[in-house]
A and B are shown apart, each in its own frame.
Chain A
Amino acid sequence: MEGDIASMGQFIGAGLAAIGSGAAAIGVGHVAGNFLAGALRNPSAAASQTATLFIGLAFAEALGIFSFLVALLLMFAV
């Protein structure tokens, strides 16, 4: 492994971008947890809101996927 500053930058950048996945995980956990809290408080309304839950999960997760994509781009495409 000879020194190569450009590839070092790639790897460091990819690693930093991967932090975003963890942040997205926090977001997804928030969405699911708050949904569960609300659902347990009012179980009769929970069934009608599952679509909203999935939309929220999808939005939260999409951002994590973006960071994953950035990491992949740094690793393989730059």
Chain B
Amino acid sequence: MAEEAHSEGSGLVFHPLDQFIVKPLFGEGPIHWYTPTNVTLWMTIAVLCIVAVFVFGTRGRAIIPTRVQSVAEVIYGFIYKMIEDVTGHDGVKYFPYIMTLFLFILFSNYLGLLPTSFTPTSHIAVTAVLGFGVFIIVTLIGFVKNGASFLGLFWMADSPAILRPVIAVIELISYFVRPVSHSIRLAGNIMAGHAVIKVFAGFAAIAAISPVSILAIVAIYGLEVLVAGIQAYVFTILTCVYLKDALHPHH
């Protein structure tokens, strides 16, 4: 309805959200849980890229690395150091899990920047699984490692006694909001950027505005390249922060 209003008004056609539609790869029809869709396609491409960089790129095991191998090593070192800095030494155990999240988000974001591609991380469903997965895993780790003393995370022992229950309620709410903001931040950022690019692309239909429109698209695209990396980084480092809370709830 909103789109109709747009298209009737000025002859411009805006479909900024059409790029996010999930379609079956082969033919039409209802989407079952097993149907291969464009989600499947782009996730597969992301997985293949990760395999290409991290398995085939490092096949040589060279002491003096090739270009691809040094990319893999830089990413490895970056995430490893991040986990070690934020969570301390006992967080290193969860390195493969955090690395999985980071690589999936990073490659999905960057592959999504290719024209006509599909971005899995722009979907709430995908990021919610990632975010709630982190939430559930981190909470389980917290209770398994610390038992009931994990609840000390919500009980600020160094605050005034009167405020403690209030703070505990606020902390509890903010703890349960974490996965929501964690997932919506990623999906929202990616979706917003892609939609803005599409809106500017819609303006290119008017000849007089099209150069400005293209310049704007280039600028926004540059910003999106930055955002794609930063959001992957932010998702990962927040995962590390939550993990630190689970491992050391009393700091």
Contact = CB atoms under 8 A, between A and B. Distances in A.
A7 interface: yes
Contacts of B241: 55
B13 interface: no
A1 B8 CA distance: 8
Contact of A75 (B2, B8, B230, B233): B2
A54 B17 CA distance: 28
A68 B192 contact: yes
A62 interface: yes
Given A51-B82, A54-B230, A55-B238, A61 B5 contact: no
B192 A65 contact: yes
B181 to A, nearest CB: 5
A58 B5 contact: no
A69 interface: yes
A33 B191 CA distance: 27
Interface stretch (B30-38, B159-167, B182-190): B182-190
B1 A69 contact: no
B64 to A, nearest CB: 28
A16 to B, nearest CB: 16
Interface in B183-233: 184-185, 188-189, 191-192, 195, 230-231, 233
A62 B188 contact: yes
Contacts of A54: 230, 233-234, 237
Given A1-B9, A7-B5, 16 more contacts: A1-B8, A51-B237, A54-B234, A55-B238, A57-B230, A57-B234, A58-B230, A59-B181, A62-B188, A65-B184, A65-B189, A66-B181, A66-B184, A66-B188, A69-B188, A76-B2
B185 to A, nearest CB: 4
